[in-house]
């Protein structure tokens, strides 16, 4: 294996194919060209299973792509699956406490006493992961359809009981997530005491996942310090900074997840809905806006999503280049 020099910058996607797991592709920095790499490793899960073994070869392809030195196909984000179309684990934290405070207020639930020093995290469904342009299919508008714009990381194998100090090195990729939420199903099922089942259906993921080094100075202390822009039906709805007000960074979330077990390569860990105390940055989910409306005026003016609504979630670097491509979904009735 060749020695790795310099920064480990890279963008990866999974292109839809006849296979359930799609085809791993390296994507150039501008998100215009892609190259599948069957000769190196066929899928992203396979790559994560042997990250140290394949990373150098994938990095070489990325550098060649950016230099225009290799053949490639045009990259169409809407032909991308989720980077992991089915994953072995999806754990979603709730690291932005302004989100926790507002959402719990919305459903009249108490704040956990340990809010400031013990991360909230739930085990989500990972057997179906939506691609960035896949529709959000829901049986009924009456379920209270909401989006949650988040940042997430994908790990390699993490040892049982890992320390926070060691956890950051297991972050192999960073990506964006739409953690679809069915607000009217949640209070009833959380009251049963076993967490989310119906209220958190399949989540959607950005077209591209990138290495932490690809984020440059925006990745600091296991946090991503850039605004996450959310457009709902074409209107800007939020641009909260994902680096602000994140009480628990990703290293902390990984260590929390691994307290009593190992984590297998390909584990996806979410930040929870990105949210700032500064209300001028808007919202990354509808329910927070509704709570603020109730506080300010006595009633929620904003309704949840309707069939035909569109949600767009994206993050640009300081030069205005889309880092991950956009999650851009339409809400549809389930057939």
CA 51 to chain centre: 20
Nearer to a copy of itself, 116 or 301 (CB): 116
Check residue 284 for interaction with a copy of itself (CB under 8 A).
Answer: no
Instruction: Classify strands 235-241 and 171-178 as parallel, antiparallel or unpaired.
Output: unpaired
Check residue 244 for interaction with a copy of itself (CB under 8 A).
Answer: no
Distance (Å, whole) CA 162 – CA 139: 41
Of the candidate residues 201, 238, 282, 325, the single one contacting a copy of itself (CB under 8 A): 201
SS3 241: strand
Of the candidate residues 193, 234, 298, 320, the single one contacting a copy of itself (CB under 8 A): 193
Of the candidate residues 76, 137, 317, 330, the single one contacting a copy of itself (CB under 8 A): 137
Point out which residues pair with 175 in neighbouring strands.
Answer: 152
Point out which span in 56-64, 81-89, 205-213, 323-331 binds a copy of itself (CB under 8 A).
81-89
10 Å CB burial of residue 193 (0-12, 13-18, 19+) is exposed
Check residue 307 for interaction with a copy of itself (CB under 8 A).
Answer: no
286 closest CA partner among 225, 227, 233, 324 = 233
Sequence-separated (6 or more) residues with CB below 8 Å from residue 298: none
The CA-CA-CA angle for residues 33, 241, 133, to 5°, reads 40
Check residue 141 for interaction with a copy of itself (CB under 8 A).
Answer: no
**Residues in contact with a copy of itself, shown as a per-residue x/- string from 49 to 78 under the rule CB under 8 A:** x-----------------------------
Q: DSSP assignment, residue 115?
A: T
User: Shortest approach of a copy of itself to residue 239 CB, angstroms?
Assistant: 27
CA 277 to chain centre: 21
Contacts of a copy of itself in 151-180 (CB under 8 A): 160-161
Check residue 123 for interaction with a copy of itself (CB under 8 A).
Answer: yes
Of the candidate residues 77, 131, 207, 266, the single one contacting a copy of itself (CB under 8 A): 266
CA 191 to chain centre: 26
By CB under 8 A, name the binding residues for a copy of itself: 20, 49, 86-89, 91, 94, 109, 112, 114, 118, 120-128, 137-139, 143, 160-161, 182, 185, 188, 190-199, 201-202, 256-257, 259-264, 266-267, 334
């Amino acid at each position: 294996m060749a020695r790795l020099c310099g920064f480990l910058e890279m963008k990866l996607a999974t292109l839809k194919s006849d296979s359930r797991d799609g085809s791993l592709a390296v994507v150039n920095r501008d998100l215009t060209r892609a190259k599948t790499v069957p000769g190196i490793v066929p899928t992203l899960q396979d790559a994560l299973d042997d990250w140290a073994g394949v990373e150098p070869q994938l990095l070489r392809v990325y550098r060649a792509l950016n230099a225009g030195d290799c053949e490639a196909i045009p990259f169409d984000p809407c032909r991308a699956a989720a980077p992991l179309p089915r994953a072995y684990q999806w754990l979603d934290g709730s690291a932005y406490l302004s989100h926790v405070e507002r959402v719990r207020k919305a459903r009249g639930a108490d704040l956990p006493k340990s809010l400031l020093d013990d991360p909230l995290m739930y085990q989500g469904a990972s057997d179906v992961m939506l691609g960035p342009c896949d529709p959000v299919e829901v049986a009924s508008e009456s379920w209270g359809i909401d989006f949650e714009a988040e940042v997430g990381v994908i790990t390699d194998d993490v040892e049982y009981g890992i320390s926070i100090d060691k956890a950051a090195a297991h972050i192999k990729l960073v990506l964006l997530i739409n953690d679809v939420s069915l607000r009217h199903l949640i209070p009833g099922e959380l009251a049963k005491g076993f967490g989310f089942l119906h209220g958190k259906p399949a989540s959607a993921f950005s077209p591209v996942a990138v290495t932490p080094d690809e984020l440059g100075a925006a990745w600091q202390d296991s946090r991503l310090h850039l605004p996450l822009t959310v457009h709902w039906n074409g209107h800007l709805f939020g641009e909260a900074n994902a680096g602000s007000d994140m009480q628990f960074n990703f290293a902390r979330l990984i260590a929390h997840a691994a307290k009593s077990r190992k984590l297998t390569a390909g584990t996806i860990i979410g930040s929870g809905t990105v949210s700032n105390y500064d209300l001028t940055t808007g919202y990354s989910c509808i329910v927070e806006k509704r709570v603020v409306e109730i506080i300010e005026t006595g009633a929620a003016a904003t309704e949840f999503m309707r069939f035909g609504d569109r949600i767009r979630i994206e993050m640009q670097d300081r030069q205005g280049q889309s880092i991950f491509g956009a999650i851009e979904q339409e809400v549809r009735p389930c057939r």
